[in-house]
Amino acid sequence: MDTIKTRFAPSPTGYLHIGGARTALFNYVYAKHNGGKFVLRIEDTDFERSEKIFEEDIIESLRWMSIISDEEILHQSERLNIYNSYVEKLLKEGRAYYCFCSKDLLEEDRNKLTAENKKPMYVGRCRELKPGEEMLKTPHVIRFKVERGTGSATFFKDLIRNQIISIENKEIDDFVIVREDGIPTYNFAVVIDDALSGITHVLRGDDHVSNTPKQIMLYNALGFKVPEFAHVSMILGSDGKRLSKRHGATSVIQYKKEGFLPEALVNYLIRLGWSHGNDEILSLDEIIKFFDLKNISKSAAIFNTEKLLWLNSHYIKSKDPFALISLINDISEDSQARLNEDVKTAALVDSLKSRSKTLVELRQKLDFFLNKTVEYNAGVINEFNFNQNDAAFLQVFKDFIISLDDDIFIDGKNLEGLKVSIESIKNAFNDFLSQNGWTMKEKAMIIRLAFTGEKVSPPIYEMIFSLGKERCTERIEAFLGFLSGIKN
RNA sequence: GGCCCCAUAGUCUAGCGGUUAGGACGUUGCCCUCUCACGGCAGUAACACGGGUUCGAAUCCCGUUGGGGCUGCCA
């Protein structure tokens, strides 16, 4: 048996969307599971809509998900003369013919057939034509001559359904294989490329099932070995309709920008339509290890952002804070300050990572720390009836901060040291509270508000550590000032 | 319209002739707790419908309904 080889062949007419990403993933893990090869091919024969930036986006998005081509990436636009030689062959053997019907005429035919409630197909006007030299100088396309024997059908076994799908030839048009501009169409180029590059298994979207018989005819006419086919169901939007921009982010790059980790997207996408028992959390390596076409679902799946967010928060939680800092910096806008890769930032990131579903959200929660000063909001603060006693507490608390041992506030990247520091702050603070007969519960909120201006914040100890003595005392004073302002 | 495909909770799924129909997301309640989270525990909710086949069908067959795809000189 041949070594298994799969491919992902997108057209660079848009950013890589999650449906394509899932197809690429299926191809990649199937090849890898079987010790085979995965290749990428750019189907850029639609010159009108293909753009280089989309191609770059596709490659970069796949690379981000760790999906990398095992061979040089092919471009159909560079293989035009290869296709030509095969067209000649078909023409010579009478398996293809020139068609001079104008687009208007075809349109007319189609309308007529549709009006009669018939399938709009090419009527075969030029099928038996023997054009001379002069005629060939006029605009024409080349069509494949589909065998018309009564009852003739084309079939293939779909590996996902594990079932033969058969389509009668009368349902299939004499489809165009070379356009008027001499560029081959998808159905033609794809067959030649797959055959020539030795693709053994074609895993693609459900939307290609009706193309498959056409392609099989071409494989046979060209004398190529027909590969195996597996058609994966599509991803639908929350309303059960085909996924589109209406459903929010659809491109891989958008998910990256919104703070998703590639592990989460990969895990989500593979579980959308494939399963391994009750396993939910799967690394790429595990997916490759367990992957089997038998476990791919036949039905379409609705994309569910909630579950993706859950997986993303899972992977965020499992990461080292310094790794998170650099991931956040990677996706930060130019206008945003870069996070320092120091233990002060790491302390907060570490406590915030279980509170964030995306990297973007995590970064937002760091705003209070990144900003020079705090904006206090009377509305929020008035929800708590602070009085003179609270102001007095803050004064004492400030003294407590100042009294803290300077050795606690370490620098560098020492996470072990961080644990010790947090423990020291915790112990000192608890002593401070109990000596005065106070509890954490009754004092936490005012401290939180003083440090951040918000009702929600990272834990107090981490904030004391990360802000440091000076910024803590500054904020306490600023808050005290604000409090006296709203009292008057 | 024609052709093809699909059908277990709101969502993703396990199941492959005999199960109290399992897991996960979400959601609800409780516990933990300095806020918010995390975590733990508990609850919630499904075999689209109708016929067969069979001692027995979520599982096999047929039909209905519903959904999706294709019906381009796009891929």
**What ipTM goes with this model?**
0.96
Phi and psi dihedrals of A297, rounded to 5? -75, 145
pLDDT, one tens digit per residue, over A222-273 is: 999 999 999 999 999 988 888 877 787 789 999 999 999 999 999 999 999 9
Mean pLDDT of A102-111: 90
Report residue A120's pLDDT band, with 50, 70 and 90 as the boundaries.
confident
Chain A 397-436 contacts with nucleic strand B (CB below 7 A): none
pLDDT of residue A314: 98
Report residue A84's pLDDT band, with 50, 70 and 90 as the boundaries.
very high
- For residue A426, which amino acid is it? K
Span CA (A302) to C1' (B47), Å: 19
Q: What is the mean pLDDT of chain A?
A: 95
Span CA (A107) to C1' (B40), Å: 66
Mean pLDDT of A83-98: 96
CA angle A69, A315, A34 (to 5 degrees): 35
Q: Is the CB of A46 under 7 A from strand B?
A: yes
pLDDT of residue A160: 95
Q: Is the CB of A354 under 7 A from strand B?
A: yes
pLDDT of residue A117: 78
Q: Using the predicted structure, report yes or no on whether residue A487 has a pLDDT greater than 70.
A: no
| Of A470, A484, A324, residue with least CA distance to A409 | A470
CA atoms A425, A427, A432, A436: torsion sign? positive
Q: Is the CB of A176 under 7 A from strand B?
A: yes
Least confident of A6-10, A64-68, A151-155, A203-207: A151-155
Alpha-carbon distances of A374 from A72, A196, A394, A474, rounded to whole Å: 53, 64, 16, 10
Q: Do residues A446 and A402 make contact, with C-beta atoms less than 8 angstroms apart?
A: no
pTM to 2 decimal places: 0.95
Interatomic CA distance for residues A80 and A274, integer angstroms: 37
**Given the structure tokens 């808050």, which residue do they identify?**
A479
pLDDT of residue A187: 96
Q: Using the predicted structure, report yes or no on whether residue A150 has a pLDDT greater than 90.
A: no
| Of A174, A210, A205, residue with least CA distance to A99 | A174
Q: Is the CB of A153 under 7 A from strand B?
A: no
Beta bridge mates, A158: A163, A229
pLDDT of residue A250: 85
Q: Do residues A7 and A41 make contact, with C-beta atoms less than 8 angstroms apart?
A: yes
- For residue A18, which amino acid is it? I
Mean pLDDT of A294-315: 96
Task: Give Cβ neighbours of residue A341 (< 8 Å, ≥ 6 apart).
Answer: A322, A325, A326, A413
pLDDT of residue A301: 95
Q: Do residues A79 and A193 make contact, with C-beta atoms less than 8 angstroms apart?
A: yes
Tokens of A348: 């907060």
Q: Which residue is nearest to nucleotide B24 (CA to C1')?
A: A280
Task: Give Cβ neighbours of residue A107 (< 8 Å, ≥ 6 apart).
Answer: none
Interatomic CA distance for residues A463 and A365, integer angstroms: 12
Mean pLDDT of A357-383: 96
Q: Is the CB of A163 under 7 A from strand B?
A: yes
Give the percent of chain A with pLDDT over 70. 99
Interatomic CA distance for residues A300 and A120, integer angstroms: 27
Alpha-carbon distances of A246 from A21, A238, A256, A259, A305, rounded to whole Å: 19, 10, 19, 20, 14
| Of A197, A162, A156, residue with least CA distance to A38 | A197
Q: In this predicted model, which residue has the larger pLDDT, A119 or A196?
A: A196
Q: Using the predicted structure, report yes or no on whether residue A488 has a pLDDT greater than 90.
A: no
Rounded to an integer, what is the distance from CA A103 to the centroid of its chain?
38
pLDDT of residue A178: 97
CA atoms A402, A407, A411, A416: torsion sign? negative
Q: Do residues A45 and A184 make contact, with C-beta atoms less than 8 angstroms apart?
A: yes
CA angle A391, A395, A400 (to 5 degrees): 140
Q: Using the predicted structure, report yes or no on whether residue A128 has a pLDDT greater than 80.
A: yes
Tokens of A187: 């159905």
Tokens of A84: 């030509």
Q: Do residues A393 and A384 make contact, with C-beta atoms less than 8 angstroms apart?
A: no
Report residue A115's pLDDT band, with 50, 70 and 90 as the boundaries.
confident
Span CA (A205) to C1' (B69), Å: 10
A45, closest nucleotide (Cα–C1'): B75
Interatomic CA distance for residues A451 and A439, integer angstroms: 18
Strand B bases, protein C-beta under 7 A: 1-8, 10-16, 22-26, 33-39, 67-75
Report residue A1's pLDDT band, with 50, 70 and 90 as the boundaries.
low
Interatomic CA distance for residues A39 and A24, integer angstroms: 10
A11, closest nucleotide (Cα–C1'): B75
